[in-house]
Amino acid sequence: MTLPRMLHTCLQRSLVQLCGCLCVLVTGLSLVPAVRAETDPIGEAGRVAVIEFMLQQAISRGLISGAVVVVGDHQGILYEGAVGVSGFNAAAPPLTTAAVFDIASLTKVFATTPAIVKLLDDGKLSLLDPVSRWFPEFEGSDITILNLLTHTSGLHDVGLNRAAPMQSAIERAAAQNGRVAAGSRFRYADINFILLGELVRRISGLPLDHYARQMFYAPLGMQTANFLPPQSANHAPTLGGGRGVVQDENARMLGGVAGHAGLFSSIHDLARFAGMLLSGGQLNGTRVLSSRAVDQMTAPYFFSGGKIVRGLGWDHESPFSAPKGTIFSELSYGHTGYSGTSVWIDPDVDLYVLLLTTRLDYQRLRSFSKLRGDISTLAAALFVGRERRVGLEVPIHTGP
């Protein structure tokens, strides 16, 4: 065995042993409540080793080429880390936590949903407004704003006409009217949020990107959160999108600004937004949403006999809630993005987990979902207080 191979084997065995030790600690009775990372250098080293080891496994198995993770609470970041490279080959530069990602469908909850909820809070529209109030093409339809936000409109995704992408989206969605009764079932579809993104423009008079920057990103000091970002070497690429170009084809046809996809951001800026939500709509004294609006946005709505639980835009329990893991409470909520992104927020334990990756494999859905869930489970096990961690096991492997 060569020396590099021996060193790699020894390191891997040491990390596995460390994971095992942490499993014992998490299930033991001697655990103390988690402290902020900067005041606990020994604990921080252990957390870094275990979380990074889990992500390195995903890299070695070809799921991702790199990832950044942030765990935080309403006061700020508790842990941050980056592994792998910002590209699709070994020669790509190392990934850092400052990298800007195409966050894909996280656009729905970091831009479109809060924009709609802000308009609701300002009395500009109602959840029970029929979509036809704002889109005459839906005349006679029972679909409401609530149906769009909870993916219970009955609409399914459509192809767009490049010559008139938004108008074709509206007309082709309206042509489905009555095929599935609004509110009768949950069907996740981007078209719901394409319509909501356009609704923000029709009500506010501002395109979604301008509205989100004016109402949220600028007040919160989110410097990198942007649609149509300026080209930069610090952009993490996506397969099919490149650097700084949105991966989603419909979002590209809509000019890069759409309600379902198109937002780019660093993980630090997303952390500021998540911290704002945990603080009831304000961050460091700057309020961007009322506490009532945050509560309304994240309150659960039950469908399919309680098997599907959604918030306004946000997910609570559904086939897409892998990032919830096994520890977060029933009050927790989050979302995923096709490019390899996810967020999960738990106000009950005051914790959020953000995962952004350079995703390589879009076929092994089960493995990728397990990675998302295991990262959240591990983060909760390491950063939630003792009384909630006793009897819980830290995951080690992320394979199927």
Q: What residue ranges of the chain have pLDDT lower than 50?
A: 1-38, 386-394, 396-400
**Torsions phi, psi for 389 (to 5 deg):** -95, -20
Structure tokens at 69: 């993770």
Residue type, 156: H
| pLDDT at residue 56 in the model | 95
Please list, in sequence order, all residues whose beta carbon lies within 8 angstroms of the beta carbon of residue 81, skipping any fewer than 6 positions away: 48, 51, 52, 55, 68, 69, 97
Q: Dihedrals φ, ψ of 175, to 5°? A: -65, -15
* pLDDT at residue 241, as a whole number: 80
Report whether 61 contacts 366 (CB < 8 A).
no
Per-residue burial over 323-362, b if 16 or more Cβ lie within 10 Å, else e, is: bbbebbeeebbbbbbbbbbbbbbbbebbbbbbbbbbbbee
Residue 176 corresponds to which amino acid? Answer: Q
Structural domains in the chain plus CATH codes: 65-365 (3.40.710.10)
Give the pLDDT confidence score for residue 39 in this predicted structure.
52
pLDDT at site 33:
31
Q: What was the pLDDT predicted at 178?
A: 79
Q: What is the pLDDT of residues 107-147, one digit of tens each?
A: 999 999 999 999 999 999 999 999 999 999 999 999 999 99
Q: Which residue type is seen at 167?
A: Q
Q: What angle do CA 143, 310, 247 make, to 5 degrees?
A: 85
Say what the pLDDT of residue 240 is: 84
- Say what the pLDDT of residue 332 is: 98
Identify the pLDDT of residue 328.
96
| CA dist., res. 209 & res. 227, Å (int) | 6
Beta bridge partners of 85: 94
Query: Tokens 């309680």 map to which residue?
Result: 306
What's the CA gap between 85 and 290, in Å, rounded? 39
